Amino acid sequence: MLKIEDLSVEISGRKVLNHVGLSIPKGEIHALFGPNGSGKTSLIHTILGFPSCEVISGKIWFDGVDITHMPINKRVNLGIGVAFQHPPVIRGVKLGDVLRSFVEGKGGATKRFRIAQAVNFPIEFLDRDLNLGFSGGEIKRSEILQVLAQRPKFVIFDEPDSGVDVENLEVVGKTINNFLGRRSGLIVTHLGHILRYMNANLAHVLIGGRIACSGKSSKVLSQILKEGYKWCERCLREKEIEECKRKR
Amino acid sequence: MQEKALKAREKPAALGPDLDIKSFTRDVKSWPNCPVRSLPKDIAQQSLNVGVRTDEKGRAGTYFQIDHSTVFGAVQKMFEGKAEIMSTEEALEKYDWMEDYWWKLVAVDVDKYTALAEFGWDKGYFIRVLEGQKVTLPLQACLFVSKDNLNQNVHNIIIAEPNSEMQIITGCAVHPNVQRGLHVGISEFFVKKGAKLTFTMVHNWAQNFDVRPRTVALVEDGGTFVNNYVCLKPVKSLQMYPAAYCKGVNSRARFNSILYGTKNSYLDVGSKVVLQGVGSRGEVTTRAIASDNAQIYARGLLVGEQEDSKAHLECRGLLLSDSASIHAIPELVAKVKGAELSHEAAVGKIAEEQIQYLMARGFSESEAESLIVRGFMDISIFGLPNQLQDEVKKMVDITTARAL
């Protein structure tokens, strides 16, 4: 469904992704781990096509289509949905305005109401300015709400568990899990808490813009929790040494 | 009065480009009185674009002036005895006490435009809501210019008697044939004890039109004055600096402005609140958008002259073109300790991350821009009743859609 080949990316001349390869087949959920600043969010922005992320080499395929140089909205219309970690405040633009673009026509209002209910939002919330004065938990729920309304084939969640308290974590986790069903997706998580409530097939670890390892999600997570990201860094160093040897 | 005005005849305004008054004509045919419903279609359409309905649907009363003539002025039957609306000329004939309101807040010798309104006075509206009356529907007034190069000078008096409540929507518009002209408007607002007056003004001028309103409001004990202003169409130059004096205990004044400068428009719009009463409050909110070659000066002045008074000024500017400019000038003057004044101002272009975020929700780049611009001109800041809010929102949306 989503295939990333040898992707290198720069942001204002600084390399943030280094020969990244990743393949998420249809119906699979993958997790992406990595310490702060390892390039997780840059990878998401590149998949989406944010102009600040300049693709130096490599390709991104979605559903068999090369989307490497497609405008953001075209990719989204192909079926990619994203729940952001730090969405910007947009004064005067209402949450409802965005939902209306996904769910309109006859019965649209009722549908929007039901979707809002699913994430425990009162209907008044749809009249609020996007992300203005939202609490951490409200931002998460608003992002999930928008993705639910969009019904994408492939969905990316950027740190859905950061800044969410224990009770809400369960609500967020279960809502995401319900929604995913047979969809495909990528869950980016720093600490892996969210994975308690959902099943990921594979996990990848991103360190310094490189994929350090890939493996069974539960195994990778327990290893990280046990030994921290240092373990992955070691892994990556060994990998690099291997590569050098091969080149020689 | 005449003597004072005479001295100010050549006096340029403190702000805005100086105009040659003699280059405009005062010669125009008069319009007969007629039911507002019978106005020609093109005039009806233009007035509707500024919120004045010639079918009077959902309005408590109407004043309609074309050029120098009052065409119509009356309240609907169910509001008789509660509110009155007529030309100031008629009001001056009818009521001796009008002398107590005439040129009492605005000085006749402020500049050559106030002097012009004295020497070349062309009526204007008188709106009054009687004591204790709450007028549930908006009253409306339209000042229309039908002749090219005309000079129109109106003098309006608005009185909210004690404990009354009213909404007024006024629109200024020109006939599509009108390119050039000068409109001077003197407005004196009296908000008495416990009264609440919300005044919403929409301007649609022409590209070569010059506009010089001069407005002052006096707010007594427990009174609230809300002044909403919308300017959406190009204008050659518009300069105004309306002021509200919160003289009474716990009096309140709020100015909300939405300025959309297009083409070569020169907009110099300020709002001034003077806090004179104990517990008085003021609020100034401005949203300014400049595109094409528009130049916008967004001024604000809060003056604290009384203890336990508080006011805030907020100005946001959005620049849509590199050849446009927005100059935000917020000023705070505290004269006693215990006057709490604050301001925030932000001017810039649309943030890239906002566009990207909306594109990530499937909107195209131009759809995202228009959504942000329309959101920026959020008229919910006006605090209007639902129906009127919907009407004004529609006007704003139509103009924005066309401009983008």
Calpha distance A76→A54 (Å, rounded): 19
Non-local CB neighbours of A230 within 8 Å, separated by 6+ positions: none
Interface mutation vs chain A, best among B286, B287, B352, B357, most A CBs within 10 Å: B357
Q: What is the pLDDT of residues A188-222, one digit of tens each?
A: 987 778 888 888 889 999 999 999 888 888 888 88
How far off is chain A from B354, nearest CA to CA, in Å?
6
CB contact at 8 A, A27 and A182: yes
CB contact at 8 A, B233 and B204: yes
The CATH number of the domain covering residues in A2-89+152-247: 3.40.50.300
Within 69-88 of A, beta carbons closer than 8 Å to B belong to 71-73, 76-77, 82, 84, 87-88
Predicted model pTM: 0.86
Q: Which residue has the higher pLDDT, A236 or B365?
A: B365
Contact flag A90-B354 (C-beta cutoff 8 Å)? yes
Q: Which two tokens stand for residue A202?
A: 């594979």
Say which of A51, A71, A146 has its CB closest to residue B361. A146
Contact flag A90-B377 (C-beta cutoff 8 Å)? no
CB contact at 8 A, B312 and B283: yes
Q: Which two tokens stand for residue B300?
A: 């604000």
Residue A105 predicted with pLDDT over 80: no
Contact flag A72-B374 (C-beta cutoff 8 Å)? no
Calpha distance B357→B368 (Å, rounded): 9
Residue A236 predicted with pLDDT over 80: no
- Residue A115, helix vs strand vs coil: helix
> What does the pLDDT read at residue A127?
87
> What does the pLDDT read at residue A121?
76
For strand B150-160 and strand B165-174, is the pairing parallel, antiparallel, or unpaired? unpaired
Question: DSSP code of A88?
Answer: P
**Chain B residues inside the 8 Å CB shell of A76:** 359-362
- R_g over Cα of chain A: 18
CB contact at 8 A, B178 and B147: yes
Which residues are registered as beta bridge partners of A207?
A: A210
Q: What is the pLDDT of residues B12-39, one digit of tens each?
A: 999 999 999 999 999 999 999 999 999 9
> What does the pLDDT read at residue B394?
86
**Chain B residues inside the 8 Å CB shell of A93:** 358, 371-372, 374-375
Residue A123 predicted with pLDDT over 90: no
Q: How many CA atoms lie within 13 A of A80 on its CB side?
A: 28
Calpha distance A193→B158 (Å, rounded): 64
Domain limits, chain B? 2-348, 350-404
Residue A102 predicted with pLDDT over 70: yes
Low-confidence ranges of chain B (pLDDT < 70): 402-404
Residue A8 predicted with pLDDT over 90: yes
**Chain B residues inside the 8 Å CB shell of A48:** 356, 360
Q: What is the ipTM of this complex?
A: 0.92
How far off is chain B from A28, nearest CA to CA, in Å?
22
Residue A115 confidence class, pLDDT cut points 50, 70, 90: confident
Question: DSSP code of A122?
Answer: -
